Amino acid sequence: MPELPEVETVRRGLAPVMEGAVIARADVNRPNLRWPFPPDMAARLTGQRILRLRRRSKYILADLESGETLLIHLGMSGRMLISGDALGQFVHDHPAPEKHDHVVFHMHNGARITFNDPRRFGAMDVFSTIGADDHALLAKLGPEPLGNHFDEAYFAAALDGKNTPIKSALLDQRIVAGLGNIYVCEALFRAGISPRKRAGNLSARRAGSLVPIIRTVLMDAIEAGGSSLRDFKQTDGELGYFQHRFDVYGREGQPCRRVGCRGTVGRVVQSGRSSFYCGGCQR
């Protein structure tokens, strides 16, 4: 599933052709994805100007002139492809429709944004912008890891007394929003912390040291356009490149990349997910 860097990469790709632009027509080609679409979604979107395109955790939020917000979740295999030449730059011509093109936005500026999702684990919803933070998918989310509310004092307090492994705590969206398996593994490696370490056993100093490392890992991944492992592609159809810089994720049995460490990358299953780490230098 796309994590924060992939979703932010998509948001940044969409912003130049969607922010301030009008949806001339919205085509909704099926009644549902992971859940049913909201009533009259096509009509509620058609003719609306997008005032702002933002991200919350792994969700893209488009605030509309009507006072409603469109929520987009990419799910496991969802991707949004821009076609047309709205900005006077080289952009792909409109391709022929494909089987899994479930929602299509025809913009007044000539761009077309197609939501394609073969597995249909994605989701869309439309709801009032006022009180949007109370939406069922957003209400219990913790602070953004790139935001000011996620700081050393907050994180140390959030981990205090927790008996779960630090890996599980970092994946808990109520503690910090948007982190997923890939970037948690990479951040813990850079911090030299074992994914098995009990969260509550980390000192405040060590817990606090994770905050800037998490931010750096995420920003590095965003700069690289995210990670493409299976389905993820950027809005222009290009792949992300951060997977070529993984230190531990997917590198089971390979030498540790930390200078001076002679360990190898191991793998352990935690809560049904693979944790990759170096037993030699992560304690």
Q: Which residues are catalytic?
A: 2-3, 58, 273
Dihedral (CA of 176, 179, 180, 182) sign: negative
| 38 and 179 Cβ atoms separated by less than 8 Å | no
How far apart are the C-alpha atoms of 247 and 245, rounded to whole Å?
6
State the number of CA atoms in the 13 A half-sphere of 163 facing the CB: 0
Token pair in block for residue 172: 């808990």
| 241 and 251 Cβ atoms separated by less than 8 Å | no
Residue 198, beta-bridge partner list: 165
Give the CA distances from residue 81 to residues 48, 97, 111, 138, in Å, rounded to whole numbers and listed in that order. Answer: 20, 12, 10, 25
How far apart are the C-alpha atoms of 283 and 271, rounded to whole Å?
20
What is the DSSP-derived secondary structure letter of residue 79?
E
Token pair in block for residue 140: 């219990």
